[in-house]
Structure 1
Amino acid sequence: MNSLINQKTKSKIPLSALKSIPSLAVTENLSIYSSKHEQNLTHFDPFRFFNDHKKSRHQTIKSTTIIHTHLLKKALLQSDIFVANSLLDWYCKSGSMDGALQLFDTIPHPNEISWNIMISGYNHNFLFEDSWRTFCRMHLLGFEPNGFTYGSVLSACTALQAPSFGKLVYSLAIKNGFSLDGYVRAGTIDFFAKNSSFEDALRVFYDVSCDNVVCWNALISGAVKNRENWLALDLFIRMCRLSLLPNSFTFSSVLTACATLEELQYGKGVQGWVIKCTAKDVFVGTAIVDLYAKCGDIDEAVKEFSRMPDRNVVSWTAIIAGFVQKNDCVTALKFYKEMRNMRVEINNYTVTSVITACANPDMIEEAKQIHSWILKSGFYMDQVVGSALINMYSKLRAIDLSEMVFREMENFNIPGKWAAMISSFAQNQNSQRAIQLYRSMLEEGLRPDKYCTSSVLSVVNSLKLGRQIHCYTLKTDLAIELLVGSSLFTMYSKCGCLEDSYKVFKQIPVRDNVSWASMISGFAEHGCADQAVQLFREMLSEKTRPDQMTLTAILTACSALFSLQRGREIHGYALRTGIGEKQLLGGALVNMYSKCGAVELARRVFDMLPEKNQVCCSSLVSGYAQNGLLEDAVVLFQEMLMSGLEQDSFTFSSVIGAIALLNRSGIGTQLHALIIKMGLGSDVCVGSSLVTMYSRCGSMEDCCKAFDEIDKPDLIGWSAMITSYAQHGKGAEALKAYDLMVKGGIKPDSVTFVGVLSACSHNGLVEEGYFHFNAMAKDYGIRPNYHHYACMVDLLGRSGRLKEAEKFINDMPIQPDALVWGTLLAACKVHGDVELGSLAAKRVMELKPCDAGAYVSLSNIRAEVGQWEEVLEIRRLMKGTGLTKETGWSSV
């Protein structure tokens, strides 16, 4: 312990914390010290005076100095330790620690109370290093600390973020028999929860049974700070069962946990306790306002705010942040204006909330005004405010102004501003600048933090660069950070390395709901829905409680598996946990039921949603279209338009697909006009659907126009155009579009090659067909499926190379299906090859006995060469199997 006396510690108290220290009053009501009373000081009784003013809050340097002078005249300080300690306490409370130290050094025989006053005084004035040094000096001089001493110095260690010091103090407390002292236990729990390990805090708490409310409060507060909010609520319930009466500190912590979890009903129950215990002060009132605001009930938040007799800066910030969360930026700014008119103190959290409110494209002028006020008020020097300004201009698409703020903060080489700027580039799809800025940090000798690294990983689409950043995170121990780990496995998943993604996920020491949801989504999006379901089971086995984000991800996996049973089980779980009515989950449920063919259930969930948004409406429109209920899809879309609900590209794409299948070009043209009016014509998803619609309606001219409107065609858009050309017999144009797509750096998929091979087939381009068929596996690693083989058989059959087509079928690495043999049968019919046609028909009948088309085709082949007896035999076979020829029809 002696070696620690002169050891210097580095204060980690943020500047923002110092701003909250009230300035010392330099004047006071001097009625008891006025000249008319000074003549009565001869009758001054220090014992009565200090006892009468023990809880007074009016200790100032001036009043303390007057009393000190009088006590010196009376020579009481040297002879009475009570008087000396009382005056020492006044110096500490007045903020004059220099005066307190001078007085302390003149006390001939200070006792443990004297030392405790000095230690707690330093804590009260945020001089935590001096508090630690005083404790070390006390121990060196042989004074025995008591429970109050240990509790106070533990608070200093907590504020200094000095785990080694705190553990030494706790060890000393155990050695001297103070481990069971309530004040020491509370300080130890708070220390471990904030600095070292929450598990250690739990261990200290559970060492012995506890009926000390302060200890319970410390643990509940520690659970909230460590994001163990469900544990905080569980502790609160257990505390109440032990008949321990919660106080305002308990309620504010528990209400914060409810707000974080968005557990409004639970929070209302706690609010009932508050009313019952009459424990509502400004802190509890603020926590209630924050609860309603974060749970989306802003009207109730305003009511609670208006009922508060006293409001502080946190109260105002909570209500402003609530309106920001509801995207009601105008009202948020009105409350901010009212706050300023009432001259309420404004801190950096208030400012950042207001900046967030201004991050709206319609509020560019307000954003500039707030920026000007920040420059005048001095908040510009705060790194958090500067970073918020960078983010604000980024969301306003004014990236040049973001860079201006970034450059003006050049004297602050802090990771926060770099992270904000990298994130801004990432949000504006400028991955090159984001990566360049990250490299600049490294070149300047700065160490990127977890926010910088996760932001740059979000825009990395190069596996080589991603691996390099991964190596850097391993060297700097950033890889164990949850945020960085999640960004790493998301990057690998985005680059198609699902195995590496899962390895990184498994290495993250502590996983939250976001990481579980991201990994489950990664499996589902890459065709590994079974693994997504298995991962969800692992999550439940680890006692992690899924939130709506995780349940949405697993419902996507159920949709991919078309697993209605699993989807219904997830739905039941969501209802039991109270998440089933969440809007985000409602859209996922509608989508799952639609994809699984249970459109009636999808509609039932849709009708039960308290609020319909574009996601759930789009999912149901798509579900109707995919399940053949085309009229219902169009009607629902019309209802969406009539209700004024905002439409997105997914909705338009779904309804366009339905219109294309209905072959209603008139409605399609009207819809195209609406799309142009809304500025969605350049959207690749909508444009691709328009291409397909016009193609099916037979208008290649409109098809080409719709394609030309697309800003940046993707694989789906190019594939739609290639297929449209192929279906209309424009093979040369289809192959030209394919070449343009490949030159543009877009890799074709199996659907693209179906269009390419169809184009070759329709134009008799046999050699080109062979070239592209071989290129599938050789150049792109795509294994041909039955559709590709059928296209090649069709290509050879149309060219009259029937024997070559038969050999091609026999050489297939997979067993030919009815589609392949049926394609050969159609070619034999065209070219009148009875023998090969009979063989092809026989194979189709074996593989698909209920296919009437094969019987009809074979019958027609026989009839064309005059084999009428065979025709009659085929007809008898059809009747024997109960098959009938479908009557032809026309929509004209």
Structure 2
Amino acid sequence: MKRKPTIHLANLLRSCIDKKAHRSGKILHAHTLRSGLFSDTFLSNRLIELYSKCNKADSAYHVFAKMPQKDVYSWNAILCCFCKAGDLRGARKVFEEMPERNVVSWNNLISALVRSGYQDQALDVYDVMMSEGFMPSYVTYASVLSACGAVLDVEFGRKCHCLTIKIGLDTNAYVSNGLLNLYSKCGLIADAIQVFGSMDEPNEVSFTAMVGGLAQMDRVLEALELFKLMCKNGIQIDSVSLSSVLGVCARDGYGEYDQNDSFLSNVHGQQIHGLLIKLGFERDVHLGNSLLDMYAKHGDMRSAEIIFSNLPELSIVSWNIMMDGYGQKCQSEKTIEYLRRMEHCGFEPDEVTYIHILAACVKSGDVATARQMFDSLSCPTLSSWNTILSGYSQHENHNEAIKLFREMQFQHVKPDRTTLAIILSSCAGMSLLEAGKQIHAASQKIALYPDTFVVSGLIGMYTKCGKTEMAERIFYRVPKLDIVCWNTMIAGFSQNSLNKEAFMLFKQMLLKRMVPTQFSYATVLSCCAKLSSSFQGRQVHAHTEKDGYVTDVVVGSALINMYCKCGDVYEARQFFKTMRVRNTVTWNEMIHGYAQNGHGNEALVLYQCMIESGEKPDGITFTSVLTGCSHSGMVDAGLEIFNSMQRDHGIGPELDHYTCIIDSLGRAGRFHEAEVLMDKMPYKDDPIIWEVLLSSCRVHANVSLAKRAAEELFQLDPENSAPYVLLANIYSSLGRWDEARTVRELMTDRQIVKDPGYSWTEDKDQDTRFYVG
């Protein structure tokens, strides 16, 4: 007789659980007590489940505590209730008191820890579970693999993958999706693709994880193709998958948009926008923010404004995206305008808001306003400190960056890897070795050494201060080096004229199977140019072809420089002709190459082609073409170009330009014009000008001017041996031996020593040097 009402009550409670009917459930609870049925464990378990579903953890625990008899389901039900409520302390207490546990108990605790962000603890609990002999289920691995992905512990994840294969769970959809998520987050896209390919029926979660993984590795077109395949296969498109693919479209445009053509550069994003409207998601607030972010990342702020004004609900995220968008376009005034509007609408700025404003001011070059904004913050976060420090460092106000870093220490704000990298950059910029050493010590103290980000900064600082041995010591002590560390060390050797060592390190990098970047190739090509080693340069050229960097404009410019420095102007010009994209640097390298190799007429013709192409010349362009005119005796053409600098291009002549013109006039024997120009120019006290003039006097045997130039140099650059040698040679060539001897004796009396000359021969990667004492 008692069983029938129990079943009826259980069914009613199930209905209340499904509908989350808390009030009706309480009535049934009261009826259970009046009817004397509370001692029934099955009914009590249903009551715990009801209160748990209605987020009434206290009521659930009250039922649990009063139960006369508890089974494993009762313990799991109350454990699940605490886990769902996020009460990890209560969940731990219940778990430890359980007289009997099963795999459900372990799964509840592991998943609760993962949801609460305690991934490391979740993995520890999983280890204990395995050691006690419990067989994990697909639910276990869904949580454990998610934890591995969150902490980027790919080794632990691989062990779990092997176990899922061993116990036959690897084909489970939840496990497969967990593996996809793990490998994608850890950047192991090949493993993710292999898992995805082995899935019988990938669902929307699988496709979304794969799309996100491809986007993370900047394989944007593949990610978009996969989304198209998802649509073609009839996989359900939900708000999560749309948000993911909008993130792909945003990544496609980030930092690469053309401000005049942002509409055409965002075709994929506009297509997804159309699909979103077609599927009826235009009122989804989260998707609205994703759309906003996508247009802002492409620099299409007109479309972003339209989306923003039509959002059904504004949030702090929406305002922050708009401020970041205008900040990326260097429109700090619009960013601050949006801050004022946001505050007027009753929104309180958060940390992200201030970081966007600071970044906008910094990017716009308005560091003073950024500092005012920073100083107005009552308690700036570490990110805010890093942003303003970065602003000073980027604009080469290194002294202020270091002062602010010291202030940061007084405020007891603990620096992170970004902070140290910024300050190390400022120490390098000012060659502050002692300060850099202190940062090095601090990085060890706060356990940020050997973080590769910090290591790269340390290598850069030591090499900029001329301490390459110390930089090498750090470099070789780090067990796992990334490409940035390799590039920094190679660049450090190059900056310290250790070009052969730089090239050998590049070869070592290739042997370690590191993939060079455009910076790697540009640096090592510069080393080959300085070594005048066409053999090594051609080897590097072949590698750029193989790795697909030969079309990169930076690498292309470095290749032209290398061939020209090695005397192979023909090869440089042939490569120059094949370049699809050229910038001012590319044109400059080719013009300079012609000039340095005595092809002044070709340099002049190419300069004219550059002007006709619409490319704007800079100061280096004029130095190069004026050098060509000087070396080829085209004095009048050089003077015309020199005079056109300010008149036609708004570029004021600097020391190098005056030097070229003085050299050109001197070579032609037009000394009167040279002297008139020297009297007018602002660089008359620079020793280079006088040394150039003295060299010309030797060619034309202009003794009086040579003597004046030499006397100026004796005062301006007393340690330089060149004026003594040049003046003595002028006297010797004219047979004025007494005066030549006087100059040599003066040189001896003043202890001036002429630097020895040297030359070398190259045989493959070996070179032999000959010094003249």
* 2:342 equivalent to 1:471: no
RMSD across aligned positions (CA): 5.1
CA deviations on 1:187-230 (whole Å, 9 max, x unpaired) are: 9xx99xx9xxxxxxxxxxxxxxxxx996999xxxxxxxxxxxxx
Superposed, which structure 2 residues align to 1:346-495 within 5 Å? Answer: 352-359=208-215, 360=219, 366-371=226-231, 376-377=235-236, 380-382=237-239, 384-392=240-248, 400-410=267-277, 411=280, 412-414=282-284, 416-421=286-291, 423-424=293-294, 430-431=298-299, 434-442=300-308, 444=310, 465-477=331-343, 480-495=349-364
Superposed, which structure 2 residues align to 1:550-589 within 5 Å? Answer: 550-589=419-458
Amino acid across the alignment from 2:337: C
Report how far residue 853 of structure 1 moved: 1.2
* 2:719 equivalent to 1:850: yes
Paired with 2:724 and 2:378, the residues of 1 have a C-alpha distance of 64
Paired with 2:17 and 2:313, the residues of 1 have a C-alpha distance of 40
Q: Is the 8 A contact 1:529 1:558 kept in 2?
A: yes
In structure 2, the residue matched to 1:181 is: none
* 2:497 equivalent to 1:628: yes
Report how far residue 356 of structure 1 moved: 1.3
Superposed, which structure 2 residues align to 1:97-496 within 5 Å? Answer: 97=22, 99-100=24-25, 292-303=148-159, 320-332=180-192, 352-359=208-215, 360=219, 366-371=226-231, 376-377=235-236, 380-382=237-239, 384-392=240-248, 400-410=267-277, 411=280, 412-414=282-284, 416-421=286-291, 423-424=293-294, 430-431=298-299, 434-442=300-308, 444=310, 465-477=331-343, 480-496=349-365
Paired with 2:747 and 2:610, the residues of 1 have a C-alpha distance of 47
1:599–1:745 CA distance, 2 compared to 1 (3 A): farther
Q: Is the 8 A contact 1:59 1:94 kept in 2?
A: no
514-523 or 843-852: bigger deviation: 514-523
Pick aligned residue for 1:717 from 586, 598, 604: 586
Report how far residue 793 of structure 1 moved: 2.9
Paired with 1:506 and 1:494, the residues of 2 have a C-alpha distance of 18
In structure 2, the residue matched to 1:695 is: 564
Paired with 2:580 and 2:321, the residues of 1 have a C-alpha distance of 27
* 2:697 equivalent to 1:828: yes
1:889–1:590 CA distance, 2 compared to 1 (3 A): closer
Q: Is the 8 A contact 1:769 1:792 kept in 2?
A: no
Paired with 1:800 and 1:869, the residues of 2 have a C-alpha distance of 26
Secondary structure of residue in 2 paired with 1:645: coil
Secondary structure of residue in 2 paired with 1:409: helix
1:448–1:774 CA distance, 2 compared to 1 (3 A): farther
1:479–1:297 CA distance, 2 compared to 1 (3 A): same
Paired with 1:255 and 1:601, the residues of 2 have a C-alpha distance of 45
Pick aligned residue for 1:883 from 752, 756, 763: 752
Report how far residue 748 of structure 1 moved: 5.1
CA deviations on 1:156-193 (whole Å, 9 max, x unpaired) are: xxxxxxxxxxxxxxxxxxxxxxxxxxxxxxx9xx99xx
Secondary structure of residue in 2 paired with 1:658: helix
Q: Is the 8 A contact 1:786 1:816 kept in 2?
A: no
Secondary structure of residue in 1 paired with 2:401: helix
Pick aligned residue for 2:675 from 806, 815, 819: 806
Paired with 2:88 and 2:235, the residues of 1 have a C-alpha distance of 45
In structure 2, the residue matched to 1:602 is: 471
Paired with 2:266 and 2:614, the residues of 1 have a C-alpha distance of 28
Report how far residue 652 of structure 1 moved: 1.0
Q: Is the 8 A contact 1:289 1:301 kept in 2?
A: yes
Paired with 2:365 and 2:607, the residues of 1 have a C-alpha distance of 24
Secondary structure of residue in 1 paired with 2:448: coil
CA deviations on 1:35-93 (whole Å, 9 max, x unpaired) are: xx44xx7xxxxxxx9xxxxxxxx99762449xxxxxxxxxxxxxxxxxxxxxxxx9579
Pick aligned residue for 1:548 from 403, 408, 417: 417
1:457–1:671 CA distance, 2 compared to 1 (3 A): farther
TM-score, length-scaled by structure 2: 0.73
Q: Is the 8 A contact 2:687 2:717 kept in 1?
A: yes
Report how far residue 841 of structure 1 moved: 0.6
Q: Is the 8 A contact 1:757 1:772 kept in 2?
A: no
1:292–1:104 CA distance, 2 compared to 1 (3 A): closer
Report how far residue 775 of structure 1 moved: 5.7
- Structure showing greater radius of gyration is 1
**Count of aligned positions:** 685
1:705–1:514 CA distance, 2 compared to 1 (3 A): farther
1:699–1:465 CA distance, 2 compared to 1 (3 A): same
Secondary structure of residue in 2 paired with 1:680: coil
Q: Is the 8 A contact 1:482 1:510 kept in 2?
A: no
Identical columns (%): 22
Pick aligned residue for 1:591 from 439, 446, 460: 460
Paired with 1:515 and 1:708, the residues of 2 have a C-alpha distance of 47
- Any stretches of 5+ residues in structure 2 without a counterpart? 33-47, 63-81, 93-107, 254-264, 762-773
CA deviations on 1:257-285 (whole Å, 9 max, x unpaired) are: 676xxxx7x9999999999999x999999
CA deviations on 1:664-708 (whole Å, 9 max, x unpaired) are: 113222322332232212212111111211221222222223333
Amino acid across the alignment from 1:417: L
In structure 2, the residue matched to 1:205 is: none
Q: Is the 8 A contact 1:624 1:630 kept in 2?
A: yes
Secondary structure of residue in 1 paired with 2:685: coil
Paired with 1:215 and 1:542, the residues of 2 have a C-alpha distance of 37
Paired with 1:287 and 1:452, the residues of 2 have a C-alpha distance of 31
Q: Is the 8 A contact 1:61 1:94 kept in 2?
A: no
1:330–1:873 CA distance, 2 compared to 1 (3 A): closer
Report how far residue 871 of structure 1 moved: 1.0
Amino acid across the alignment from 1:632: E
Q: Is the 8 A contact 1:796 1:804 kept in 2?
A: yes
- Any stretches of 5+ residues in structure 1 without a counterpart? 1-31, 42-48, 50-57, 66-89, 108-119, 132-146, 153-186, 195-211, 218-247
Secondary structure of residue in 2 paired with 1:544: coil
1:371–1:481 CA distance, 2 compared to 1 (3 A): farther
Amino acid across the alignment from 1:764: V
416-425 or 557-566: bigger deviation: 416-425
In structure 2, the residue matched to 1:726 is: 595
